Amino acid sequence: MTIKPTFDNKPNKNIRIGINNGDGNGMVIENYWISRAPAAVGIIFFIVDDVPYVLTIVRAKRMMYEGGKRAVPSGFIDWCESGYDAMRREVYEETSLNLLDYNKCCIFGNNNEPFYVQSDPKSSELQNISLSYIKVYKERKLPMHVENYKSGESHSIKWMPLSEVEHMPKEVWAFNNQQRISDAWNFYQKQIQIDNALEYLRESYI
């Protein structure tokens, strides 16, 4: 006899709201589900003269969560939007950096798929689901114009050397982003090792 499994989930709540469109046709009933929110995270590296830099912001103090803390660009995924496109949009909205302008110097992007997915409900009070994306570019100079950009979401923007990120106090970072930056760089380094090993094997059998 098969034992029925048990689950710890709490079903999503459904709210029905009557909306008057003002067209004389009465109320329109809209259904809304309260569920866990998916967010896209963009970890953007630029390698200049063999030094890796990561694009970071200081979140505006008015932000509802983690205001005033250092972070990487991130935000909720909208309707009709893939996780990757949401990441590109958030990077642009928060820093003005258009990733499409640098396609030619992109050396790694994990096929535009997230390298890390956080779905553990115990990871944060908000229980958000986050999709973390990595993009690595190699250029002669940094796109410094972004550091002059002002937005309602970002108090300031800075290209930070990876070595500087690693030595900052954990407390100044929002959403465990410091660890996620480290995870992203390690993921990239491992992919390089795998690619080099595969190339060695291919050359050995030619």
With a CB cutoff of 8 Å and minimum separation 6, the contacts of 93 are 73, 75, 151, 153
| 188: phi then psi, degrees, rounded to nearest 5 | -60, -45
Integer angstrom CA distances of residue 156 from 32, 180, 185: 35, 20, 23
The 10s digit of each residue's pLDDT in 123-142 is 888 899 999 999 999 999 99
**In the prediction, which pLDDT does 180 show?**
98
Distance of CA 48 to the CA centre of its chain: 22
Q: Please name the residue that has the structure tokens 């690693």.
A: 166
Residue 19 banded pLDDT, cuts 50, 70, 90:
confident
Check whether 101 has a pLDDT greater than 90: yes
Q: Quick one: which of 162, 157, 134 has its CA closest to 146?
A: 157
**In the prediction, which pLDDT does 134 show?**
98
Q: What angle do CA 82, 88, 91 make, to 5 degrees?
A: 140
Q: Please name the residue that has the structure tokens 């259904």.
A: 31
With a CB cutoff of 8 Å and minimum separation 6, the contacts of 187 are 110, 115, 116, 134
170-190 b/e (C-beta count within 10 Å ≥ 16 → b): eeebbbebbebbebbbebbee
The 10s digit of each residue's pLDDT in 142-194 is 999 999 999 999 999 999 999 999 999 999 999 999 999 999 999 999 999 99
**In the prediction, which pLDDT does 206 show?**
64
The 10s digit of each residue's pLDDT in 23-57 is 777 778 888 888 999 999 999 999 999 999 999 99
Domains of the chain: 35-192 (3.90.79.10)
Task: Output the pTM of the full model.
Answer: 0.90
Q: Quick one: which of 170, 174, 183 has its CA closest to 57?
A: 174
Residue 201 banded pLDDT, cuts 50, 70, 90:
confident
Dihedral over alpha carbons 30, 34, 35, 36 (to 10 degrees):
120
Pairing mode, strands 74-76 and 13-20: unpaired
